[in-house]
Structure 1
Amino acid sequence: MLSLAVLISGGGSNLKALLDAAADPDFPARVVAVFADTDAEGLAHATAADIPAAIVRPRDFASREAWGDALARRIRESGADLVVSAGLMRILPAGFVRAFAPRLINTHPALLPLYPGAHAVRDALAAGAAETGVTVHVIDEGVDTGPVLRQARVAIVPGEPENELHERIKQIERPLLVATVRDIASGALELPVGASEHPITPHPHT
């Protein structure tokens, strides 16, 4: 059974999708902890599922690195095997990434390497792209530059507003993330172990 620590900043729709999936006893992963960098609405999903949750605010630390170190300690204490950045709207410090990669994954609303960064949906529309999509990837020390694990395509409707396109991407993003976590947990998808000295070893607990 794979143990997950989930990082959020907002409404937590990806977290909710993982919690719903984990409610099935046949799903090979469980959320054991949720962490936010602010008073995220999505923490309510953790509370409803009786999952330990905490806010670790960067402003409470002297530097981004100190915040990352504190967050890393909390994740290690949770016993999580895999860290899932599910809507965390913050670049993780390099030391944090080195501590967990490749056991550190993220979703991004574009077909990487196209349109990295915080405005991927807007950038795809500005480029006049006919399609975009969602990527689940390993987080590395760059910005959306880590190894791609899974992708799904989404056609862009001419004249479609950014918010409507983003919502359609989210509808694809949630099941893609769930499927990726399932495949990692089952061994159907191998993480790039060479990127880290810490290969994934799921805990033998339920």
Structure 2
Amino acid sequence: MKRLQIGFLASGNGSSACAIMDAMAAGDLAADPRLMVSNMKTAGALEAARARGVPALCIPTQKDPQAADARIVSEMEAHAVDLIVMSGYLRRLGPKTLARYAGRIINIHPGPLPRFGGEGMYGRRVHEAVLAAGVPESGVVIHVVDEEYDHGPQLATRAVPVLPGDSAEDLEARVKAAEPPFFVETLRRIAEGALQLPQPASSQP
């Protein structure tokens, strides 16, 4: 079976991306890290990738989103990426990236979807909303990325309990601890063919 060729998008430390790259290096995931891209030049994910011998570059998006969109596509193509993994990437993807990699961009979200997703729902805001809702458990969702925030088809979910007396910080720490190994496990299932990525609508018969 063909190995996955993975490109990463991260805005911060990219903890899930680091766990994924380490799993590849250990031979625990049939995939190769091709490129790390961040919109922030100070992102820890860039240095983490370089320390592992993975090409890394900053593509700022704020001043010229259209140019950034085109460059992300060209760089991913130049590095032979066939699957993009978002690891805490906090910018909306542009139409060129979404079209070129339709059905081949996946993201992890730190709360149940769709209830605790959407524009502006990231980081601690998600955990605060979960606690305010009084639900007995939160969760981690890995989903395909489309043009809407947290909207694409869900690939895998894992429940994370909400414990009595939890603060948003407590719940955030528990969810963050669950994310990296769950992302590695899900990618392993994709690489092994046990989990299929959905076909983009344009390629379906």
Select between 147-156 and 95-104 the one with higher mean Cα deviation.
95-104
Q: Give the fraction of aligned pairs with identical amino acids, expressed as a percent.
A: 35
Question: Paired residue for 1:204?
Answer: none
Of 1, 4, 11 in structure 2, the residue corresponding to residue 2 of structure 1 is 4
Does the 8 Å contact 1:111/1:133 carry over to 2? yes
Shift of 1:26: 4.8
Question: Paired residue for 1:122?
Answer: 128
Shift of 1:104: 0.4
Residue type at the aligned position of 1:51: V
Establish whether residue 45 from structure 1 lines up as the match of residue 48 from structure 2.
yes
Over the aligned positions, Cα root-mean-square deviation in angstroms equals: 1.6
Question: Paired residue for 2:175?
Answer: 169
Q: What SS does the aligned partner of 2:44 have?
A: coil
Whole-angstrom distance in 1 between the partners of 2:135 and 2:28: 39
Residue type at the aligned position of 1:91: R
Does the 8 Å contact 2:36/2:45 carry over to 1? no
Instruction: Give TM-score scaled by structure 1 length.
Output: 0.89
Residue type at the aligned position of 1:2: L
Does the 8 Å contact 2:39/2:58 carry over to 1? yes
Question: Paired residue for 2:104?
Answer: 103
The runs of 4+ residues in structure 1 deviating greater than 4 Å are none
Residue type at the aligned position of 1:188: A
Select between 177-186 and 147-156 the one with higher mean Cα deviation.
177-186
Shift of 1:60: 4.6
Count matched residues.
Answer: 196
Residue type at the aligned position of 2:30: P
Question: Paired residue for 1:203?
Answer: none
Alignment of 1:36-185 (within 5 A): 36-38=38-40, 39-61=42-64, 64-116=65-117, 117-118=121-122, 119-185=125-191
Q: What SS does the aligned partner of 1:90 have?
A: coil
Q: Provide Cα deviations, 1:62-108, integer angstroms capped at 9, x if missing partner.
A: xx233211111111111011000011011212332122120000000
Whole-angstrom distance in 2 between the partners of 1:146 and 1:14: 20
Kindly tell me: are residues 54 and 197 of structure 1, through their superposed partners in 2, closer, same or farther at Cα, counting changes over 3 Å? farther
Whole-angstrom distance in 1 between the partners of 2:130 and 2:201: 29
Whole-angstrom distance in 2 between the partners of 1:31 and 1:196: 28
Structure 2, unmatched stretches of 5+, are none
Whole-angstrom distance in 1 between the partners of 2:142 and 2:66: 25
Whole-angstrom distance in 1 between the partners of 2:90 and 2:160: 22
Kindly tell me: are residues 196 and 24 of structure 1, through their superposed partners in 2, closer, same or farther at Cα, counting changes over 3 Å? farther
Instruction: Give TM-score scaled by structure 2 length.
Output: 0.90
Residue type at the aligned position of 2:58: I
Does the 8 Å contact 1:184/1:191 carry over to 2? yes
